[in-house]
Amino acid sequence: MTMDLEGLRKARAEYDARMRRDAQPDSAQARVERVGPVVRQTAPALGWNGVLWSDLDEGTADAEIAAQVAYFSGREVPEFEWKLYDHDRPADLGERLRAAGLVPEPPETLMVGRVSELAGLPVEPPEGITLRVVTDEAGVDLMMEVHARAFGTERPRIRELMLDLLRDEPDSVAAVVAMAGDTPVSAARMEMRPGTPFAGLWGGGTDPQWRGRGIYRLLVAHRARIAAERGIPYLQVDASADSRPILERLGFGVLGVTVPYIWSRD
């Protein structure tokens, strides 16, 4: 059952507090810090760098955006992301980010579902499909093979993140590949930070030739059961236009819309 309006309001407030304002770094190599009205993550090499949360108004926004551009441009990173949510303030923050040289990517829908309901979804694989749990570099490479076909792009940052997590914090990630014989056809991961009530579902993608067979739903159910075993109450997804209707049918509710604004050194 989809969450009611009051449940969604509470979930959004908790998400903002626990996953943005009081965010934990996404790997052992990253650092999250609050600098005045901004919470940002910095990471080395291919790690994710960006702004997670801000408390701005019309009088402070431009100066703070300029300060973050100056900070990240002074580091040896190729880009940083300002993750803007539709309830962030000021209301024209997106326009101000664009004026400062950040480029918006396609919007995603922030969705959340109750693990207690999702863990009961059927987990019987479609005919010819088996699940392989990712625990090593070979499994990560199978994930990357799927992502290249599903999304049409290589994702070296995700590969490095997965290898870091499996090496340094294996309990913080659960990744799985759906196999058709020896061929990987779908893959996804779940990230779980200690003590937080939301497990994030990331990277869910299926080879176009294998879509429409229930594999995406299977991978959601698989990860929901792991979250239930860990006592995590919510699953969270930044959903694309393709995955949103599937997630809505499974009972996920909409918390809002998020747009990644990217500053690039190029």
Report whether pLDDT(92) > 80. Answer: yes
| Parallel, antiparallel or unpaired: strands 79-85 and 50-54 | parallel
Query: SS3 of 261, please?
Result: strand
| Average pLDDT of span 49-74 | 98
pLDDT for 250: 93
Of 2-6, 150-154, 216-220, minimum mean pLDDT range: 2-6
Asked if 43 and 27 touch (Cβ cutoff 8 Å), the reply is yes
Highest mean pLDDT among 38-47, 93-102, 203-212 belongs to 93-102
The fold for domain 113-256 equals Aminopeptidase (3.40.630)
More confident site: 6 or 32: 32
Distance (Å, whole) CA 123 – CA 221: 6
Residue 266 predicted with pLDDT over 90: no
- Given the structure tokens 């908790």, which residue do they identify? 14
Q: pLDDT at residue 66 above 80?
A: yes
**What are the sequence ranges of the domains in the chain?**
5-108+259-264, 113-256
Res 130 pLDDT > 90: yes
> Parallel, antiparallel, or unpaired for β 234-239 and 198-206?
parallel
Predicted confidence at residue 6, as pLDDT, reads 86
* Residue 171 DSSP class: G
Does residue 211 surpass a pLDDT of 90? yes
Does the pLDDT of residue 165 top 70, yes or no?
Answer: yes
Exposure b/e, 169-205, CB count within 10 A at least 16 = b = beebbbbbbbbbeeebbbbbbbbbbeebbbbbbbbbb
Q: What whole-number distance in Å separates Cα of residue 142 and Cα of residue 232?
A: 27
User: Residue 1: which pLDDT band, with cuts at 50, 70 and 90?
Assistant: low
User: What's the pLDDT band for 53 if we cut at 50, 70, 90?
Assistant: very high
Taking residue 39's Cβ as centre, other Cβ atoms within 10 Å add up to: 18
Q: What is the mean pLDDT of the chain?
A: 94
Tokens of 63: 């100066």
37-41, 162-166, 224-228, 241-245: the lowest-pLDDT one: 241-245
Share of the chain above pLDDT 90, in %: 87
Q: What is the pLDDT of residue 2?
A: 64
Judge whether 5-108+259-264 and 113-256 match in fold: yes
| Class at the top of the CATH hierarchy for domain 5-108+259-264 | alpha beta
